[in-house]
Amino acid sequence: MRLSRMGAFFPTRLSFMRSLIRRLHTERAMVTRSVWEIDDDGYGRAVYSVTFGGDVYSLVAFSTSLDPEQRTDRVIAEAWDTTYVLFDGRPTSADLDRLAIETPRQEAGRFSKTELVLSRANKSLRLFAHVVDSLAVGRQPDRSMIGKIGYLMRTTAVYGNGKFGIADRLRILERPAVNGPFQLELLTVWLIRGFTHDLVEHIAKMRDPKRFRPLASDIKRHLGIGNATGLGMAPFLVNHPILLHSWMLARETAFARVRSIERASPATIDAFLVCLARARRHIEDWQVDDISQMDRILTLRREMKEIAGLSTQAWLAEPYLWDRLTAASERWSEECQELLLALMLEPHGELIDDLSSKMASDVEPTLQPSMSIGELADLLDETFAWAAAMDFGETASTQRFWYISEEKLEPRLGDRYREPGAEKELPLDIARQIQTLRAAIDSEPRHEIVAHFLMRHPEHRRIARRVQTTASNPYAEIRDNLLGADCRPIDMLRCKLSFFGASKFDPKSDLWTRITLYQGAPTFEQLGEADADDWSFPVLGDAA
């Protein structure tokens, strides 16, 4: 698995947001708003509850005034427009009073096991103000602006699994509805999105109740929730190799199943073509400032025309359509190949949706202490040859180091040869560690066991148990140099975010991107509609 490929991923129907919405729809989940104590300016608190898998989850939202000078998407922020917790059950008024103090403090707050997720979001000032202004005078907001920005607020962090004292993941391990990857975090984000819709309408209505008009339903549906994501996601992928393997394996298995279909049914072909056409419009709407990404988008637009040209009735009717399409895509960019993969999976829900339930893994790397040094050497030589082939001799190949800053523990990248702190770098240099381990065991007797070697060389313990565990998991390792001057961390971000279901990747640098979540997804009111799963590559049509 290479970074350039990962950096071209698109969301698929296996993405976690898609599977969450499918299950919410299947369960006929209903969201209720039990508390709405928001003043005319939009400040106050609200509670939304949803019953899912037999348990009740409540989003507790706080909206406060924020000095513009404090509005940053970075982890280093100390204040936000809105802050949230996902509460396990229905909060009492005492809980709400406690959370009103702690939630706006975010990382500095004190939480308990009833708080499952902690999050915050800032307004997209441009769009939020425009939508309020429009609705307050009875107009719908500018559709091109909605299409270009796509969200009213951006979340800047969504914390789960015991962070800052909230509930550990262990608490929900026995709850099948939410124990898949990031399900509670993404449920929280979907509820936040609904809150932003309500908030913007409330402020507009309070400004001029007589002239006010609510958001048109198609505009509302097209308003997702933004997210700003930085380096923190990259170490996560490296530090959870088996989980990454599980995600990739599900995706590749789904792809293989589809490619092996001999006769594509007319219904799936039609659904594919509809989705292709929609994706073309979606990509036409996708505009970013980043020159490199915009070049890729322009190439993708050209290549999508070629796909459409290829898709004649005669060509589509031949056997093994999906496999032939995959073979044809080899001449196009990785971005195009990955988009095609997503489009080919789209009409095959019955064939592949079961894989969604196989994407969780709590497996921790475990040492195999009785393995001989000879076996370990063979394993490294045969399975990890990609790591041995990397050259770390050049300065540029070790230019960067990953670290945690003391400033609010923000993950950062440094220049090893110009900045202090490299002695505290995070151990993300997997290939280099493998090389070091291989060199260290070279002088050991082949019959020696790993346990004995590590007793005297504990500095290799982490990488030894990692290679022993990941050797049989071919998608576990990113086979690139994460220290190199030319490494693009944003490729890892895009990979992980695509599994979440994010779209409209909008890089702000090689280390940082904005994205849109849940654009086109059903709103609270639309969850029960028949097409609740048909929201890939959303586009906003013209006004009716």
Partner 1 sequence: MIVSVNQIEATIAKAAWGRGWPHGLAEECGRAAAWLSTRGFDGVRTALAAIEPGPAEPLIDETTDAIVFGAAQAIHAAPSAYDLLAADIGLERVVLQEIDQPLLVIGFGGMAALAYQSCYRLTFAEGCRVIVDGSAVSIAGTLPPSGAEAVIEAEGAGEEGTPAVLTDMEIDGSLWHDALTMAAESYVASSLSSRKFGAGAGIIDDD
Q: Which helix (H) or strand (E) holds 41?
A: none
| Residue placing its CB nearer to partner 1 in the complex, 53 or 427 | 427
What does the chain come to in residues?
544
* Distance in angstroms (rounded) separating the CA atoms of residues 178 and 199: 27
Q: How far is the CB of 132 from partner 1 (least distance, A)?
A: 16
DSSP string, 370-382: T-BHHHHHHHHHH
Q: How many CB atoms lie within 10 A of CB 248?
A: 19
| Residue placing its CB nearer to partner 1 in the complex, 183 or 468 | 468
| Residue placing its CB nearer to partner 1 in the complex, 74 or 305 | 74
Q: How far is the CB of 198 from partner 1 (least distance, A)?
A: 23
Q: Which helix (H) or strand (E) holds 412?
A: strand 411-415
| Residue placing its CB nearer to partner 1 in the complex, 235 or 347 | 235
Q: How far is the CB of 179 from partner 1 (least distance, A)?
A: 12
| Residue placing its CB nearer to partner 1 in the complex, 216 or 367 | 367
Q: How far is the CB of 366 from partner 1 (least distance, A)?
A: 5
* 3-state class (DSSP) for residue 329: helix
Q: How many CB atoms lie within 10 A of CB 445?
A: 12
| Residue placing its CB nearer to partner 1 in the complex, 206 or 511 | 511
DSSP string, 146-194: HHHH-EEEEEEEEE-TTGGGS--GGGGTT-TTT-STTHHHHHHHHHHHH
| Residue placing its CB nearer to partner 1 in the complex, 75 or 279 | 75
Q: How far is the CB of 102 from partner 1 (least distance, A)?
A: 12
Residue 184, Cβ density class (10 Å: 0-12 exposed, 13-18 middle, ≥19 buried): buried
Q: How far is the CB of 39 from partner 1 (least distance, A)?
A: 23
* Distance in angstroms (rounded) separating the CA atoms of residues 409 and 108: 12
* Distance in angstroms (rounded) separating the CA atoms of residues 469 and 84: 37
Residue in 157, 111, 84 with CA at minimum distance from that of residue 411: 157
DSSP string, 82-148: EEEEEEES---HHHHHHHHHHGGGGGGS---TTEEEEEEEEE-HHHHHHHHHHHHTT-PPPHHHHHH
Question: Do residues 469 and 485 touch, judged by C-beta distance below 8 A?
Answer: no
Q: What is the CA radius of gyration of the chain?
A: 24
- What tokens were used for 137? 């005078």
* Distance in angstroms (rounded) separating the CA atoms of residues 413 and 399: 10
| Residue placing its CB nearer to partner 1 in the complex, 111 or 524 | 111
* Distance in angstroms (rounded) separating the CA atoms of residues 243 and 481: 20
Q: How far is the CB of 388 from partner 1 (least distance, A)?
A: 21
Q: How far is the CB of 412 from partner 1 (least distance, A)?
A: 3
Q: How far is the CB of 271 from partner 1 (least distance, A)?
A: 37
Q: How far is the CB of 424 from partner 1 (least distance, A)?
A: 5
CA distance readout (Å), 246 to 358, 447, 478, 513: 7, 33, 14, 25
* 3-state class (DSSP) for residue 410: coil
Q: How far is the CB of 487 from partner 1 (least distance, A)?
A: 12
| Residue placing its CB nearer to partner 1 in the complex, 53 or 232 | 232
* Strand-by-strand arrangement of the 224-229 sheet: 31-38, 44-52, 55-63, 82-88, 115-123, 151-159, 224-229, 512-517, 503-509
Torsions phi, psi for 465 (to 5 deg): -70, -30
Q: How far is the CB of 317 from partner 1 (least distance, A)?
A: 48
Print the SS3 string covering 193-224. Answer: HHHHHHHHHHHHHHHCCCCCCCCCHHHHHHCE
| Residue placing its CB nearer to partner 1 in the complex, 124 or 470 | 124
